[in-house]
Amino acid sequence: MGVWDNIDMGHYNEAPTDAQNIKDMGINPDQGRGNPKMRSAEVMRRFRRVKAWWHEARTLHADNRKRRLKDHDCYEGDSWDQMDALILESRGQKKVNINRIKPAIDWIKGTQRRMRIDYRVLPRQQDDAKNAEIKTKIMKYYSDVNHEPYHRSQAFSDAIISGLGWLELGVRDDPEDEPIYYRYEDWINIWEDKYSVELDYSDARYLFRRRKTDLDIAVAMFPDHASDLIAAAAKAGEIASYDEIIMDDDTDVGGEDEELADQTRSRVTLVECWYIQPERRTILTGEDIGTLSGRVYQKDNEYMAQLVESGYASTFDAVKKTVRCMIFAEGMDHPLQDQESVYAHNRIPFIPVWGYRRKRSGESYGVTRNIIDIQDDINKRWSKSLYLLSTNRIIADDDATDNWDELYLQANRPDGVVRKKRGAEVRIETNANLAQGHIELMSLDAKLIQEGTGVTDENMGRQTNATSGRAIQARQEQGNTVTSELYDNLRLAIQLAGEMELSLIEQFCPEERTFRIVGERGQTEFVTVNRETPDEDGELNDITARKADFVVDQQTFNASIRQSMFDSLIELVKIVPPEIAIHLLDLIFDLSDLPGKDVYVERIRALTGETDPDENVEDESPEKQAQAQQAAAQEAEMAQLIQELELRMAMAKTEKAEAEADKAAAETAKIEAEAKYVKDKGTVERAKVLSNIENRRIAE
């Protein structure tokens, strides 16, 4: 569990001094010299390695973190380089921000927010289908109480802007809140293992999270280290701004000699490291021990010992990658905490949401990175165009005037009066032609941004030269294809987060509890799990009895393909006979995105006698199996009718084509005959003319 989830921070951040707050909590700041176990040889060996990784991570990520922050600045409309802005100011040129990046990014973000994310839990064994359905409902409950869609959207926003977002899943000790949390973590607090190449982060060796924490809160978390934390806060100081955090990370990679102190508020930098430690462990295994199978065997666990002694479970030794969590404060020479992860899934509890990655270095980057230069070009050309259109160039003799400032002022006024000496030459030139060239290039830049992001005018609902519906849809599909990798990576993140959340539910929800589940149409259902006594159906609903698998609905991420299939089937229904069309209605409605479509599909199947093709017939009653067999026979008969219909339509098309070919051949023969007749007639007439000429010549 995270370091910031074991304490109510709201009670300790008040106006009194830090020393007074610490005393009010019942902690003597002069005591608390630390836990001796945190200074043992084994812990200190791990601490030195973690500190080396911390230095490595900050060094390797320094340059890319600056670029990522620049990506966010450009998205927010602050793309001007400081030196360029100073140059413009020196020449009197206005700095202009025409942000074409934000609408493109917002369209991608909006598309993700409109997606309907659906998932389900599948059983690993045939007789566990009901428990899997209950786990699906519990996951939807946690999705509601943890506001999971909003956290996913925040992480996805980071991914498309600067290349990488993060989700955190864990448990908390607060009895007044839900034990399992699912939340977004700002990438600015995270340093990942740069040598990890897998998108699921399964090959990573470590992950760091850093956070500035008020001293009294840190002492409340680790009262045994009060004096050490007070000394660390005095040494580390305070970094006041978001930008300074980045600069500190990139310039002072050690981070132990910060002197930017804020005397009004003492803070300490806590660093949390999740890292992999290979160890030889004893593993518990067995078919009938539920979610305990695959867990590390704990000798002091009486229940595990009974399982082994009774023969229900067995053990084996293996080298296993163990996840550990170490917490330390910058400026301290020993850790505050170093313990093995409490999570059964044995993963680092952070899920990456990737945008794009560089092949050479593995660094993350987002949609913004490839269009920053184009955005800079737009702003500079717009600023230059305004400058050219609002100023004139004066070419004059040296003695044209005695007041050059007045001449310059009048020459640049739309109603100005230019006075010059008699006989002197003054010529005023405008820059409209140059400005027009910049404006044309800006239009080209805007198109390049659309091509680079895949967000076309058709995607954004703007009027273009595409007039037909198919042309508009084709261009929209072109944009969706460009951004498909982003949504594919998001789907992977949702899959990984779902697997982790399901494992947490199976591990940390062992007691009897009733969950309130809200359905798609707002209906309320109450589900009780882990019953001590069976319910009316004789079920205990023990969700910890067996493991299950989390699956994201594939159709959710292929909405355009599903819509295309839906449209095609609607057109098919219009031409097939009614007795065939009625048996296709349930499948057609199942492809739609209508709210509450399951109700429509269920009623249609009740009227037509069709069954759900995804249901397992073997588990149903004999009557339902007979109905299913009858429906299957009807479906086979219907398929044969459709084939016959298609064959007849094909034969009709062939006959029509042959008739049209015969007609065309007859028309061709007629044309050839007429041409031959004209040609022959012309030959006869020509012969008569020649004969008459010859007869006159002979007569003469």
In-domain check, residue 647: yes
Three-state DSSP at 574 gives: helix
- Supply the pLDDT for residue 280: 81
Two tokens, residue 205: 């060796």
Could you tell me the pLDDT band of residue 560, with boundaries at 50, 70 and 90?
very low
Alpha carbon 9 to its chain's center: 31
* pLDDT tens per residue, range 665-699: 777 777 777 666 666 666 666 666 666 666 666 66
Q: What percent of the chain has pLDDT over 90?
A: 25
* pLDDT tens per residue, range 93-141: 888 888 889 988 998 998 888 877 778 888 887 778 888 888 988 998 9
Element at 505 (helix H, strand E): helix 484-508
What's the full length of the chain, in residues? Answer: 700
| pLDDT above 70 for 223 | yes
With b for 16 or more beta-carbon neighbours within 10 A and e for fewer, the 655-668 pattern comes to: eeeeeeeeeeeeee
Side-chain-side CA neighbours of residue 334 (13 Å): 17
Residue of 258 and 401 predicted with greater confidence: 401
Give CA–CA dist 265/16, Å, rounded.
10
Mean pLDDT is lowest, of 236-245, 454-463, 485-494, 663-672, for: 236-245
Mean pLDDT is lowest, of 54-58, 416-420, 463-467, 544-548, for: 463-467
Give CA–CA dist 79/227, Å, rounded.
45
Task: Please give the C-alpha separations between residue 691 and each of 678, 681, 684, 687, in angstroms, as whole numbers.
Answer: 20, 15, 11, 6
In-domain check, residue 577: yes
Report phi then psi at 290, rounded to 5: 65, -135
Beta-carbon contacts of 387 under 8 Å, excluding residues fewer than 6 positions away, are 93, 94
C-beta separation of 257 from 239 below 8 A = no
| pLDDT above 70 for 566 | no
Q: Which residue in the block uniquely carries the two structure tokens 């990737």? A: 354
Angle between helices 469-482 and 559-575 (to 10 degrees): 150
Give CA–CA dist 628/622, Å, rounded.
10
Give CA–CA dist 468/463, Å, rounded.
12
Domain containing 621 equals: 559-655
* pLDDT tens per residue, range 512-548: 888 887 766 567 778 888 887 777 666 778 887 777 8
Give CA–CA dist 442/96, Å, rounded.
13
Could you tell me the pLDDT band of residue 35, with boundaries at 50, 70 and 90?
confident
C-beta separation of 104 from 126 below 8 A = no
C-beta separation of 338 from 43 below 8 A = yes
Q: Hey, CA dihedral for 489, 490, 493, 499, is it positive or negative?
A: negative
In-domain check, residue 576: yes
Could you tell me the pLDDT band of residue 155, with boundaries at 50, 70 and 90?
very high
In-domain check, residue 596: yes
Q: Hey, CA dihedral for 209, 212, 217, 218, is it positive or negative?
A: positive
Q: Which residue in the block uniquely carries the two structure tokens 């967000």? A: 455
- Supply the pLDDT for residue 425: 76
Residue type for position 398: D
Give CA–CA dist 430/96, Å, rounded.
21
- Report CA Rg, the chain: 38
In-domain check, residue 97: no
Q: What is the DSSP string of 599-620?
A: HHHHHHHHHH----TTS-GGGS
Strands (E) in 412-553, as ranges, are: 426-429, 513-518, 524-529, 548-552
In-domain check, residue 446: no
Asked whether the whole model's pTM tops 0.95, one would answer no
Residue type for position 570: I
SS3 assignment for 49-66: HHHHHHHHHHHHHHHHHH
DSSP annotation of 94: P
- Supply the pLDDT for residue 499: 93
| Angle (nearest 5°) at CA 182 between 176 and 184 | 120
From the DSSP assignment, how many helices (H) and strands (E) are in the chain?
20, 16
In-domain check, residue 628: yes
Give CA–CA dist 592/240, Å, rounded.
52
C-beta separation of 503 from 549 below 8 A = no
- Please compute the mean of the pLDDT values over residues 142-150 and round it to a whole number: 93
Q: What percent of the chain has pLDDT over 70?
A: 74
Mean pLDDT is lowest, of 90-104, 301-315, 328-342, 623-637, for: 623-637
Give CA–CA dist 695/700, Å, rounded.
9
Side-chain-side CA neighbours of residue 285 (13 Å): 7
| Angle (nearest 5°) at CA 665 between 660 and 671 | 125
Two tokens, residue 651: 């034969």
In-domain check, residue 636: yes
Task: Please give the C-alpha separations between residue 190 and each of 29, 44, 417, in angstroms, as whole numbers.
Answer: 31, 23, 63
Phi-psi label, residue 2: left if phi above 0, alpha if psi -120 to 50, beta otherwise: beta
Residue type for position 85: A
Could you tell me the pLDDT band of residue 250, with boundaries at 50, 70 and 90?
very low
- Supply the pLDDT for residue 14: 41
| pLDDT above 90 for 597 | no
User: How many CB atoms within 10 Å of residue 430?
Assistant: 12
Could you tell me the pLDDT band of residue 314, with boundaries at 50, 70 and 90?
confident
Phi-psi label, residue 118: left if phi above 0, alpha if psi -120 to 50, beta otherwise: beta
Give CA–CA dist 434/390, Å, rounded.
12
- Supply the pLDDT for residue 15: 40
- Supply the pLDDT for residue 590: 74
Q: Which residue in the block uniquely carries the two structure tokens 């494992």? A: 503
| Angle (nearest 5°) at CA 362 between 270 and 556 | 90
Give CA–CA dist 244/619, Å, rounded.
63
Task: Please give the C-alpha separations between residue 269 and each of 397, 435, 525, in angstroms, as whole numbers.
Answer: 68, 52, 45
Beta-carbon contacts of 194 under 8 Å, excluding residues fewer than 6 positions away, are 57, 60, 61, 361, 362, 363
Mean pLDDT is lowest, of 265-269, 414-418, 548-552, for: 414-418
Give CA–CA dist 374/339, Å, rounded.
49
- Supply the pLDDT for residue 246: 45
SS3 assignment for 585-597: HHHHHHCCCCCCH
Give CA–CA dist 160/368, Å, rounded.
7
Side-chain-side CA neighbours of residue 510 (13 Å): 6
Number of domains observed in the structure of the chain: 1
